[in-house]
Structure 1
Amino acid sequence: MGRLLLICEDVLSLEADALVCPAHKHLIRGRGLSAQVYDRAGDALVSECSQLPECPVGEARVSAAPNLLVNHLIHTVTPQWSSGDQWGAQGVAQLRECYDSVLALARERGLRRLLFPALGAGTNRFPHEIAAHQGLTALRAAQDDFSQLTVSLHSRAALATWRKVDARFFSENQNGGDPAASA
């Protein structure tokens, strides 16, 4: 059984087979973590990504990870949070597709240790509760296919939220794993 870790550390200071990077659909330097990755990786990443096909929301692409502590980057385009309006359900489904696409691509490539940020919860402004539920649903379902899945959160508050969601919906407890029994 693979491990799923929730931590609060700089994701760029960690080692793994691949880092999941929120991306722009044209795989160019974006904002937030994407900007940090491109700044550190440099022109080699820009050149490689220019050869990859456009990446629609919910899909994923893989590249090398020059000048980083990981071997690969898995780029995925996350949806913008729409404040829970009539398009909110579509955005939530697309966020889940990001995780599913990343995990499928990692399986294809034989990547066993993955690092994730809180996809969608940065510059795209998904509330951490929603981002955590979508992320953990996908990661818990795929956990046995990988040796380690790590979600590295940018703040202790975000980490606490993800741990709370994990405990409520996914962790076994003394009531046989039924989250409703402990509510």
Structure 2
Amino acid sequence: MTTRLTLIQGDITEQDVDAVVNAANSSLLGGGGVDGAIHRRGGPEILAACRALRASHYGKGLATGQAVATTAGRLPARHVIHTVGPRWSPAEDRSELLASCYRESLRIAAELDARTVAFPAISTGIYGWPLDDGARIAVETVRGAVRAGVEEVRFVVFDERGRVAFAAYLD
């Protein structure tokens, strides 16, 4: 079975998928951008689940490049997969950490038997990753890491700039 890769310009919190990926910060307790939007729309259930993770396995937070799942609360998705992207650095190549976010999220999605997964453009907002390079890493990594059972991976971008960047690698 071949996994479909699709591109949507819109709001990731409105995606009716099995799992939506959150570009989280290491605290798992919400933040700005995609993270803040998912926590706001998903409601207090997501924050409660993240607090429980912090109280158990992730006392120091989630490491960059790793992923963990929680409930999706009030989102139309069934699960939220939280992953911590790297901050972009002109002095240090952190591409492998960014690629790990996509691989680890797909691994978690497969464990959850998720058939549909929606990804944001991880690290390309406040973390400063150049959008074109972030899109390239995202698409190449997902193509190489698709897991059995995942039928569709959606890249959900907020604006036209993101749509153009991802479309260049998906066409």
Scaled by the length of structure 2, the TM-score of the pair is 0.90
**1:27-38 equivalent positions in 2, closer than 5 A:** 27-38=28-39
Secondary structure, in 3 states, of the residue corresponding to 1:16?
Answer: coil
Letter in 1 for 2:17: A
Runs of 4+ in 1 over 4 A off after TM superposition: none
143 and 100 in structure 1: CA distance in 2 versus 1, 3 angstrom threshold:
closer
Structure 1 spans left out of the alignment, 5+ residues: 168-183
Letter in 1 for 2:119: F
Match of 1:122 in 2: 125
Matches of 1:144 and 1:105 in 2, distance apart?
10
Does the 8 A contact of 1:4 with 1:143 survive in 2? no
Larger CA deviation: 130-139 vs 143-152: 143-152
Aligned residues: 163
Bigger Rg, which one: 1
Match of 2:52 in 1: 51
Please say if 1:63 is aligned against 2:70.
yes
Please say if 1:79 is aligned against 2:86.
yes
**1:91-110 equivalent positions in 2, closer than 5 A:** 91-110=94-113
Matches of 2:170 and 2:116 in 1, distance apart?
20
Matches of 2:3 and 2:80 in 1, distance apart?
20
How far the C-alpha of 1:42 sits from its partner, in A, is 2.2
Alignment partner of 1:163 out of 146, 150, 167: 167
How far the C-alpha of 1:94 sits from its partner, in A, is 0.6
How far the C-alpha of 1:144 sits from its partner, in A, is 6.3
Secondary structure, in 3 states, of the residue corresponding to 1:51?
Answer: helix
